[in-house]
Amino acid sequence: MTGELVLLTGSTGFIGSAVLKKLLEAGYIVRLAVRSIAKAESYTKSKYPEASITFIEVPDITVDGAFDEAVKDVVYIEHVASPFTYKIEDPEKDLLIPAVKGTKGILYSALKYGDKVKRIVVTSSCAAVYDGHDYDLRNKSPPMSEADWNPVTWQEGLDGPTGVSYCASKTFAEKAVWEFVENEKPNFSVTVLNPPFVFGPMLQNVTKDNVNTSNAIIANLMATGVNSAPTMLFGMVDVRDLADAHVKSLTAPGVANQRIIVSGRLFTYGSLLECAKKTKEEGDAYCNGPDDSAVINKEAEECHGIDYSKSVKLLDMKYLPFKTTISETAKQLVSLGF
Ligand code: NDP
């Protein structure tokens, strides 16, 4: 039991809810900074009736000083909240500004009022690493690594398409982290995690109509049966592995002021579709059966498009197999009506 106080943002979402579970399992006391306490409580009360969770409402993360109260007395911060949606009206207002100002805001609040803060872990993305003009990992030689940066400009972020705007929001939010570290030289350290697509079981409140953006890729494939990118290779990580990386990063030696790609697997849309189909047709017999990742995800299993060795070395990551992640996600999606 650690008993130390952690501030977590984004707990009403897919990744944040998985991080919350791991934090509680590790024995932390958790303060959730949320836009709506009612929304957060709607699942935390039933899932964790006995847990040490408190809430603080931060209605707008773009307001100066939004996190000033939230950071007081906390020892660690997990900053996960950031918009990940393609349903937007204005890329600057809906994606770029909340991503960048939310990230800078929590760092500066910690600088001013977080006397006890030892480390802040920020969820960035491989969207800040990939060159969004060509992110098919078959073409990556040498493999993509932490040395790479998405060269997207703010203007490209404004001009879209939405996927580019999202990648720009993550790129500029992460650049703001490293500028902060360089300029302010804070007493605490910062660790940035860069996951690619994140899939896995959902703990947040979820219905057929509000599946989070990344799991919605699997849901849409299941609903339409259409494989729009038959052979392109993308990175993926199980949400439980990513949550594990978030909690380990709070205290792991060697991760201070490091950027770490957290991505153990690759996939094609074809392999997602096949795994989801088998889950739907065969149910538990398939989910609990042998791991056939090497067969249905063959091309991806044999490709080395992402160098994730830093996560193994510094965080001792052991990644779940493709089949475990996708079949367990698909099983939940079937229960939601897909
Ligand atoms: P979700 O949409 O499931 O969750 C997003 C979370 O961020 C929610 O808690 C949401 O709060 C909060 N949030 C979104 N926009 C704002 C805003 N403008 N102001 C305050 N809070 C906001 O997304 P994920 O859990 O998938 O993503 C979480 C983080 O992980 C993001 O930073 C995303 O960029 C990053 N990421 C995700 C990947 C993925 O494949 N899922 C891949 C790589 C990185 P509310 O409930 O109030 O809307």
Q: Which domains does the chain have, with CATH numbers?
A: 5-333 (3.40.50.720)
Identify the bridge partners of residue 192 per DSSP, sorted by sequence position: 122, 259
What atom in ligand 1 is closest to the CA of residue 94? 18
Q: Angle 97-113/162-184 helices, nearest 10 degrees? A: 20
Residues in contact with ligand 1 (CB, 6 Å cut-off): 10, 12-16, 35-36, 39, 61, 80-84, 98, 102, 123, 125, 170, 195, 197-198, 212, 214
pLDDT recorded at residue 93: 97
Give the confidence band of 1 by pLDDT, cuts at 50, 70, 90.
low
Gap between the Cα atoms of 247 and 234, Å rounded: 25
For 236, the token pair is 């993926």
Gap between the Cα atoms of 105 and 182, Å rounded: 16
Q: Quote the pTM value.
A: 0.98
Q: Mean pLDDT, to the nearest integer, of 185-194?
A: 98
Cβ atoms of 159 and 152 within 8 Å: the answer is no
Say how many Å lie between the CA of residue 56 and the centre of ligand 1: 17
Instruction: Give Cα 277 distance to the centre of its chain.
Output: 25
Q: Mean pLDDT, to the nearest integer, of 310-335?
A: 98
Say how many Å lie between the CA of residue 141 and the centre of ligand 1: 31
Q: Which positions ≥6 away from 168 have C-beta within 8 Å?
A: 91, 95, 96, 150, 152, 153, 154, 156, 157
For 305, the token pair is 């498009």
Gap between the Cα atoms of 82 and 166, Å rounded: 10
Say how many Å lie between the CA of residue 152 and the centre of ligand 1: 21
What atom in ligand 1 is closest to the CA of residue 58? 20
- pLDDT tens column, 255-305: 999 999 999 899 999 999 999 999 999 999 999 999 999 999 998 988 888
Gap between the Cα atoms of 84 and 61, Å rounded: 15
What atom in ligand 1 is closest to the CA of residue 9? 9
Gap between the Cα atoms of 17 and 186, Å rounded: 28
Cβ atoms of 217 and 256 within 8 Å: the answer is no
Say how many Å lie between the CA of residue 300 and the centre of ligand 1: 27
Gap between the Cα atoms of 322 and 295, Å rounded: 11
The residue to mutate among 30, 79, 82, having the most atoms of ligand 1 within 8 angstroms of its beta carbon, is 82
Within the chain, residue ranges assigned H as helices are 14-25, 37-47, 91, 97-113, 154-159, 162-184, 215-224, 239-251, 269-282, 284-287, 293-296, 298-301, 309-315, 322-335
**Which amino acid residue places its CA nearest to atom 20 of ligand 1?**
61
- pLDDT tens column, 19-49: 999 999 999 999 999 999 999 998 999 999 9
Say how many Å lie between the CA of residue 81 and the centre of ligand 1: 5
- pLDDT tens column, 119-143: 999 999 999 998 877 777 876 778 8
Placement of tokens 């500028």 in the chain: 179
How many helical (H) and strand (E) elements, i.e. helices and strands, does the chain have?
14, 10
What atom in ligand 1 is closest to the CA of residue 81? 7
